[in-house]
Structure formats: C-alpha cells, structure tokens
Amino acid sequence: MAKHVIAPVDELPPGTRKFLTIDDRPIAIFNIKGEFFGLLNRCPHQGAALCEGPLIGLAQSSDPGEIEYTKLGEIIRCPWHGWEFDVRTGQSYCDPRRFRVKTYQAHVEPGTSVVKGPYVAETVKVAVESDYVVVEL
Amino acid sequence: MTSPLPGGVDCDLHPAVAHLTSLLPYLNDYWRDQVTTRGMVDLVSQSYPTRSPISSRPDWRPAKGKPGERLIDMQSQALDPFKVAYGILNPLYGVQMVFSEDMQDAFCRALNDWLAKEWLDKDARLRGSIVIPTQSVEKSVAEIERCAKDPRFVQVLMLVMGDVPLGKRALWPIYATAERLGLPIGIHAGSAYHNPPTSVGWGSYHIEDYVAQAQAFQTQLTSIIVEGVFARHPKLKMVMLESGFTWLAPFVWRLHKFWRGTRMETPWFDRPPMEIVQSNIRFSLQPVDAPPDPVVLNRLFDHMQSDELILFSTDYPHWQFEDEKALPEGLSADLVHKIMIDNPYATYGRLKQTATAA
Amino acid sequence: MNIQVRERPQGASTVVAKTAIADCDIHPARASKTELYPFLAKRWHAHLETYQEHPYQGMLEGPPYPKAQPNAARRDAYPPEGGQQGSSLSFMQKQHLDPNNVVLGVLNPLRTGQGLRNHDLAAAICSAINDWQIEKWTSKDSRLKGSVVVANEDGATAAKEIRKRAGDKNFVQVLLLSRNVEPLGQRRYWPIYEAAEEAGLPIGVHAFGFGGNPITASGWPSYYIEEMVGHSQCQQTALASLVLEGVFERHPKLNMIMVEAGFGWAPSLAWRLDKVWQRLGSEVPHVKRPPSEYIREHIWWTTQPMEDPERRQELFDVIEWIGWDKLLFATDYPHWDFDDPSRVLPPGVSDANREAFYLGNARKVYGLA
C-alpha cells in the first residue's frame, strides 16, 4: 500500500468531490460533512462512472406514504441506472433485501430483513495528514 | 389426461342472475319501485355477452336462460364431476358498471343476499364472494362487514378493470377490513367500462377486450406491489381470477429491473417483487395460456419459482377446456395436490371453519 | 436454503466490445428549441412561441410522470459543448458509436409532432424532423439511419409523408408510438400501413406517446415506475389490436418492430391470442390464421430493456420460444435505462445466435443485408 497525497484539505470543502486516477484506477474523493471518503469510480453493476452521479439522501419507509429521509448528501446515484450507493461504505441500496432463490418446495421465510443490497462499490482508504488529503492504495 | 383429485376446491365458479328482476325480492321498497318504474334492464357486462362462446361451453349452455343460472346444472356439470369439497362463487353480474353509489350499494346488497339465499343455502359445498359497491369505499367497507358475519362468505370480489388502479391508497380501507376479517381480495377479469378497456384506448372487438384482461392484471399487479399494499397489510392475500398466469415470470423480471433504478420513488417497496408475489398473490388455474406441451408448461412453473401460486378452478361455465380436462397435461401428482387442495386451503382461511349461516 | 447473489464480471470483455453491432434504438435530440426552425415554415415559429404544443396530456413542460434522471438520460451523456443528451453527433460518436462499434444505428426521434392535438402542427413538425435527421445526422455519419416520423393520428397526412420519403436511403423505417388515441390496429391508422408496405419500409412501434387514454385499463397509476413497467402492457395491447384487426392479413409484406418494451411478454401473449382466437374467431373472420403465425412472420423486438432474471436459463427459454432470429439489439442511448452491449447478453449463447442478435437480424429486417 502506498500513500498518495491528493490535495490540501482546503481544496476539498464539504459537499465537494475530486476525481483522479491512481495507478490506472479511476477514483473519486468526497468530503461528506468534513469527513473524507474514497470510491472507485466504477459502478459494480455495469461499470459506469459511478462517482459522477448526484448526491442525495437515503429514502426509507416503514409505512407507505411516510418517508424517513436521512444521510443527506451521503448517497450517490449512479449516472446510468440510478442505483444508490452509500459513499461512506460503498453499500448499495438498490435491492434492499437479499434475494433468496427458493428451491421448488421451500417457503418464504418471514423475519427481519437485511436492509442492504448485494452490490458494493469499492471503497478507497482516505485520511487527513497535516492538512492534506491522503489516499492509501 | 391429468386426473383431478377429490376433495379439492374450485376457486372460480359463476352463478348467473337470471335477470335484474331476480333481485327484486332482495331490494327495499324504494329500489324495487325504481327498478320497475324506470324500466331498468338487466346488468349484462360487455365482458361476457351471454351468447359469446367464451361465456359458456356448448355442453354447459342451457336450452333456456343464462349459462350458470341453475344450481342443478352447476352441480352436475362442475361440482360433482370434479368431486370438490368446496366451490367458491364469483358472481359477474354487471353491478360495477353502475355510476351512482347508492344504486350500486342497493344492487350489491341484493346480489349478496341473493347468493346466500339461492345458492349457499342450497348446497353445503358452496362458498361466496362479497361483491362490493366500488363507487364508495365507505359503503364497500360496510358491505364487507355485513356479509362477513356469514362465515360462508370467504372472499371480497373486485374487477380487474375498475375506476382506479387497485393499489391506490383511497381503496385501502377495503383492504384493511378484508385483512382484519381474514378475507382474501379476489380480483376477477372484467371491466366496469368506466375507463377504456385497454391501456391504449377502445378497441373494436369482444375478443380484444378479452385478450386485454391479461394486460390489465399485469398493470394491477404493478400497482398493488409498488403502492405497498402488502407493506401495510402483510396478512392480506389477493387472488387473480381468470387472469392467466403464464405471463407472470417475465413480468416480475421487468418490474424487478426497474425497481432497482427507481427505488427511491417508492421506498416502502422494499422486497423483491417475486417475494411479494409468493407471499401475497395467488392465481386461479383457468385459463392456461400455454401450448398443450408438458415440457413448456413445466418450464413455466419453474420460472415462477413456487408451486404455491396456482389455485384450481374450472371457471364454470366459461369455456376454457374440454370434457374434464381442467388440469393441463404433464403436471406431477404433487403439483396437482397443491393446486387442487393445499393452495386453496392455505389461501382461503375460512374454508376450515364450520359453516353455519349467521 | 439456497442463496444466490447475482455476480457480474468486473471488466467488460474486449472481444465482445469490439463486435460490430446494430443499435436499433438511438434517440437523437435537438440542442436548442430553435434548431428545428430552418426546416419548419415560419408561421409555425411564432405559433410555437405563442401557443407552444398541444399534446394529449396536460403538461406543457416535461412529462406527466417525472423521470428517474433528468431528460430520462444518462448523466454522463451531456455533450461537452452544451445541449441535451443525444443532441451532439460528435459526442454520440465519441461516447457510443465508436467505442461500441455500432455499424448500424437506427434513429428514433422522440419529442416530435407525434401525439399533438393540432394536426397541422403535428404534420409540420414531423416533416421538419425528417429533414433534420438527414441534415444533422444521416448525411454526416453513414452508420446512422433515420425513421420517417409521421403525424400518427392523421392517417392520410401520415401516408403522404411516407410516400414522400419512400426510396430515400436515409430512412430505414417508419416510426409510430405505442400509446395513441386508439389502439394501433384501428382503421384511422390503416393508411399508414398501406403506405409503409408500398414503400417497403418496416414500422417501428416505440413505447410512449399519449393518446388521451389512461395508461392502464383501470385508470391512471401513481408512479413513474408504473409507467415504465406499463410499456410492456401497452405494447402487448397495441400488437393484439394490429393482429385482430387483420392488418397483417391485408398487408402481407409489412413488418413491424416492437421497440423499447422488452420482449419477455411475447410468448404468453401469443399463446393467449391463439387460444382466444380458437374460441372467438367467428367474431373476426378477417383473421384467417392463428394470431401467433402473424406474429411469427411479421414482428421483431428490440432487446432493450432486456429482461434480467437471476437464472439465465429462464431468459434463454423465453428467447427460444420467440426465436433468436427475432431480436434486434438496442441500447436506447442516451437514456438512463440503457443496456450496455458488452454486458447485456449472458454467457452461453452460440456464435450464430450472438451474431444474429447483435447485427444479422437488424440488417435483414431493415433491408441492409
């Protein structure tokens, strides 16, 4: 793992992002409310430039018509098919429960759901050292 | 021939109202007089013209009167030959076409009372669906509660082509009531004709309207799923009646694909649609829109990924099969047992209760 | 319990990416509101600026069901010089035609005069769009072919436009939409079929349009996803109408392509039509043969949005029932739900079927074999 200095912290204020290539890998660094996160700029679905998408919040609902909207600015929508990924963790929300393929005779099991999707965007380790944003790759 | 098993449930039978005047004994004085003084005529829906070949198999068509009008015919032509333990009656009398909510309510009450008195009372195998006045959600709820006191009513009946998509929240008090009372919602082929009978306008022909029923079931299934009916009412079951089912798997694939990109629009839709179908949706057997090829049929069942979805039906007296060949060729004995017995009993909770009139 | 999580290969195979393909559904757009003016009579300039358009739905700006992405398009498809996605030939070449090795691209302009209540305006805009396709697109890149756009609710005028363009090698098909005032088999549209058959042009029936009818047979649904899924049902109904009105019986040389509504619905619909025709055929004596035969002979489907089951074999079952010779690859570029050519077809397809799917079928049906 090597450390790559990206930019002074001032150049990446909260709500902004920076695109770069390190060792042929397209990467984007995000400043989410003062914290830095990195993602590989490639959607695990069909390879789109994921990090060029808009940032929104996470819409969830415990009852139709009611929307709990959290994580504002932390969810990125892929510019192609609009799949949602958590910038902090790369976790997708496009397919909230893990799809279980039933065998011909089995039953659907009720119970608590795994609320995350089966796709995960690749994250990149980012740190701040002496007022510089540093990526470890 | 795939033989039927005795002791099953026929989930789609159509008793016919001979004429609007048959309901007169069940109307109050005011409505009785309205019918006669205004010269109101029979409520026959264009969905099933009386003499259309689909409306009756030729050997089930009586010399006089409407097909399905006489209990004795239904017994000898459907209930007895298939040796069913129960038959669920879904009247297709055209009450949904009425625009006035008061009139519709009067006719629905009369129809439900007629069903209890002239059918359920006369053959212990028979069970009924509650026909509701869809012009008023409030009155529909009241009618469900009224009829549900009679344990022989096992389902609430709606049409697939109504005034609004079935997932719309304005209708949910109906679903809440049905869920609370343990009644599935049966959605049957047919139109109220308050909207064009296809999603692209008015076609020319009866055959076109009939084909279009399948597409209507598809859009309704989308509506029910994406609006989150089962997120709010997880115990509710909906049964697609005379819908066809061979379209189901590709339909679900398409819905699933779009769901992934538009999830944020309907975040309460939070389970894969195939899961929702498997937990809350069922389909009656007729019609089987597939070639008479066991290989193809079994592939179609594989695609559906569940043997719990199909409920036996004859669709009597509609013409969907010949002789006693209600069950397609090539079904395993296990699957026949599920279709005829297990699945209907699992869907209609009231079948297991003792049935005495209220 | 058997749990399967669908996996995708990380990188696209370069071999597949270089395969020459036909893209049978590309959406060219105008870069500005006035881009069409050179092709449109002056009286319509002022008309449009004053009265705008008069579609069969209420909204003058934007669609009744808001899209999933702005302009329903990929966010990375904005041309660097400005303008809407799909409005720049050079960017389309750079982003799509060149890297995806598109050797045949069929243009299906949307936002044309189709679906407008002012029929004179509709005819004028459609004709202008056809001129614009030549000037901006097909004359500048020979891989691209246009669709003759016609005032679809006015059969006679539409037929005139088709006859005007007949024989012009810039065009490979006539374009209609799936949602119209009436189902497509109705006789108000018959002049279009006559003219198209005469001109030797197939007709592409593209999802969308508004004809003033609720988009389901039970009224208007709430959500955009319902509209998108619903194109499948609208296309099925339009096709049923065409078959049951005897359009193919009367026009045995006419071919049609179902565009952007998927194809998974086709086997069940064909089986249902056959079954019901056996029962109710006496109502429609002009339908002389089983409906599935007309479908088999006259209908093709573009692939996008491609059905995507977890178990690939199920998709192959459906394609077997339709026929590998009936599918025409399409990306729907630049729309958001676009299918990437290097990703969309699962492994396990024979070379012959792959070639047919990606190019061979399209060349045949568009007369470019």
- Three-class DSSP category at A31: strand
pLDDT tens per residue across span C221-274: 999 999 999 999 999 999 999 999 999 999 999 999 999 999 999 999 999 999
CB proximity list for A135: less than 8 A, separation 6 or greater: A3, A4, A6, A22, A27, A29, A38, A124, A125, A126
Dist. CA C146–CA B161, nearest whole Å: 38
Q: Do B275 and A84 touch (CB under 8 A)?
A: no
Half-sphere exposure of B216 (CA within 13 A, CB side): 34
CATH number at residue A97: 2.102.10.10
Q: Do B211 and C185 touch (CB under 8 A)?
A: no
The Cα-based distances of C54 to B16, C117, C263 in angstroms read 47, 5, 32
How many other CB atoms are there within 10 angstroms of residue A102's CB atom? 18
Given a contact cutoff of 8 angstroms between Cβ atoms, the answer to whether B94 and B131 are in contact is no
Dist. CA C369–CA B254, nearest whole Å: 32
What is the layout of strands, in order, in the sheet containing C102-107? C21-26, C102-107, C144-149, C171-177, C203-206, C256-259, C299-302, C327-328
Dist. CA A63–CA A40, nearest whole Å: 34
pLDDT tens per residue across span A41-97: 999 888 899 999 999 999 999 999 999 999 999 999 999 999 999 999 898 887 765
CB proximity list for C100: less than 8 A, separation 6 or greater: C17, C21, C23, C331, C341, C342
Given a contact cutoff of 8 angstroms between Cβ atoms, the answer to whether B222 and C229 are in contact is yes
Q: Tell me: pLDDT of B349 over 90.
A: yes
Residue C366's pLDDT band (cuts 50, 70, 90): very high
Interface of C with B in 111-140 (CB under 8 A): none
Dist. CA B16–CA B70, nearest whole Å: 8
Question: Considering only CA atoms, which of C71, C78, C72, C70 is closest in space to residue C95?
Answer: C78
Name the domain count of chain C.
Answer: 1
Q: Tell me: pLDDT of B15 over 90.
A: yes
Taking residues B204-210, report their average pLDDT.
98
Residue C193 lies in a domain: yes
Interface of C with B in 21-50 (CB under 8 A): none
pTM confidence score: 0.94
**Domain span at C57:** 20-365
Residue C8 lies in a domain: no
For the residues of B95-162, what is the DSSP string, one character each?
GGG---HHHHHHHHHHHHHHHIIIIITT-TTEEEEEE--TT-HHHHHHHHHHHHTSTTEEEEEEEEE-
Residue C275 lies in a domain: yes
Dist. CA A58–CA B264, nearest whole Å: 8
Q: Do B275 and A81 touch (CB under 8 A)?
A: no
Q: What is the pLDDT of residue A95?
A: 75
**Residue B91 distance to chain A (closest CA, Å):** 32
Question: Considering only CA atoms, which of A137, A123, A130 is closest in space to residue A37?
Answer: A123
Given a contact cutoff of 8 angstroms between Cβ atoms, the answer to whether B119 and B79 are in contact is no
Of C262, C277, C280, the CB nearest to B206: C280
- Three-class DSSP category at B87: strand
Dist. CA C286–CA C249, nearest whole Å: 7
Q: What is the pLDDT of residue A22?
A: 87
Q: What is the pLDDT of residue B159?
A: 98
Domain B9-352 has CATH 3.20.20.140: yes
pLDDT tens per residue across span C114-158: 999 999 999 999 999 999 999 999 999 999 999 999 999 999 999
Query: Cα angle vertex C93, ends C87, C94, to 5°?
Result: 105
Question: Residue B153: which region, alpha, beta or left (left: phi > 0; alpha: psi -120 to 50)?
Answer: beta
Question: Which subunits count as partners of chain A given 3+ CB pairs below 8 Å?
Answer: B, C
Q: Tell me: pLDDT of A100 over 80.
A: no
Question: Considering only CA atoms, which of B278, B283, B205, B275 is closest in space to residue B247?
Answer: B283
Given a contact cutoff of 8 angstroms between Cβ atoms, the answer to whether C298 and C254 are in contact is yes
**Residue A55 distance to chain B (closest CA, Å):** 13
For the residues of B252-317, what is the DSSP string, one character each?
HHHHHHHHHHHGGGSTT--S-HHHHHHHHEEEES----S-S-HHHHHHHHHHHT-SSSEE----BT
Nearest CA in chain C to A98: C5
Dist. CA B139–CA A121, nearest whole Å: 52
Biggest CA-to-CA distance, chain B: 59
CB proximity list for C61: less than 8 A, separation 6 or greater: none
Question: Considering only CA atoms, which of C299, C262, C340, C334 is closest in space to residue C107?
Answer: C334
Dist. CA C311–CA A100, nearest whole Å: 12
Residue A114's pLDDT band (cuts 50, 70, 90): very low
Q: Which residues pair with C106 in a beta bridge?
A: C145
pLDDT tens per residue across span B57-92: 999 999 999 999 999 999 999 999 999 999 999 999
Taking residues C155-165, report their average pLDDT.
98
In single-letter form, the type of residue at position B303 comes to H
- Exposure class string for C201-223: b at 16+ Cβ within 10 A, else e: bbbbbbbbbbbbbbbbbbbbbbb
Dist. CA B282–CA B264, nearest whole Å: 27
Name the domain count of chain A.
Answer: 1
Q: What is the pLDDT of residue B355?
A: 56
Share of chain C above pLDDT 70, in %: 95
CATH number at residue C227: 3.20.20.140
CB proximity list for A86: less than 8 A, separation 6 or greater: A58, A71, A74, A75, A92, A93
Dist. CA C149–CA C134, nearest whole Å: 12
Dist. CA A34–CA A12, nearest whole Å: 9
For the residues of B29-70, what is the DSSP string, one character each?
HHHHHHHHHTT------TTS-TTSGGG--GGG--SSS-TT--
Residue the block writes with tokens 């017994």: B75
Q: Tell me: pLDDT of C39 over 80.
A: yes
Q: Say what the ipTM of the complex is.
A: 0.97
Taking residues C356-366, report their average pLDDT.
97
Dist. CA B142–CA C130, nearest whole Å: 59
Of B259, B268, B275, the CB nearest to A64: B268
Given a contact cutoff of 8 angstroms between Cβ atoms, the answer to whether B278 and A108 are in contact is yes
Residue A110 lies in a domain: no
Dist. CA C301–CA C229, nearest whole Å: 16
pLDDT tens per residue across span B117-171: 999 999 999 999 999 999 999 999 999 999 999 999 999 999 999 999 999 999 9
Taking residues C286-295, report their average pLDDT.
98
Share of chain C above pLDDT 90, in %: 86
Residue the block writes with tokens 């038959």: B87
- Interface A–B counts its CB contacts (< 8 A) at 69
Cβ neighbours of A61 in B, within 8 Å: 228, 231, 267-268, 270
Q: What is the pLDDT of residue C13?
A: 40
Residue A48 lies in a domain: yes
Residue the block writes with tokens 């042009």: C201
Q: Tell me: pLDDT of B36 over 90.
A: yes
Q: What is the pLDDT of residue C343?
A: 84
**Residue C64 distance to chain A (closest CA, Å):** 20
**Residue B357 distance to chain C (closest CA, Å):** 35
Token duo for residue A19: 């695109």
Q: Do A56 and B261 touch (CB under 8 A)?
A: no
Residue C38 lies in a domain: yes
Give the β-pairing of B86-89 and A66-77: unpaired
Q: What is the pLDDT of residue C195?
A: 98
Q: Do C68 and A82 touch (CB under 8 A)?
A: yes
Cβ neighbours of B306 in A, within 8 Å: 102, 104
Q: Tell me: pLDDT of C8 over 80.
A: no
Q: What is the pLDDT of residue A96?
A: 63
Token duo for residue B159: 């049409």
Interface of A with C in 108-137 (CB under 8 A): 109, 118
DSSP secondary-structure letter at C116?
B
Residue A108 lies in a domain: no
Q: Which residues pair with A60 in a beta bridge?
A: A68
Taking residues B309-337, report their average pLDDT.
97
The Cα-based distances of B183 to B64, B111, B147, B349 in angstroms read 35, 18, 11, 7
Residue C319 lies in a domain: yes
**Domain span at A75:** 3-101+118-136
Given a contact cutoff of 8 angstroms between Cβ atoms, the answer to whether C318 and B250 are in contact is yes
- Three-class DSSP category at C87: coil
Residue B356's pLDDT band (cuts 50, 70, 90): low
Residue C18's pLDDT band (cuts 50, 70, 90): confident
- Interface A–C counts its CB contacts (< 8 A) at 56
In single-letter form, the type of residue at position C300 comes to W
Question: Which subunits count as partners of chain B given 3+ CB pairs below 8 Å?
Answer: A, C
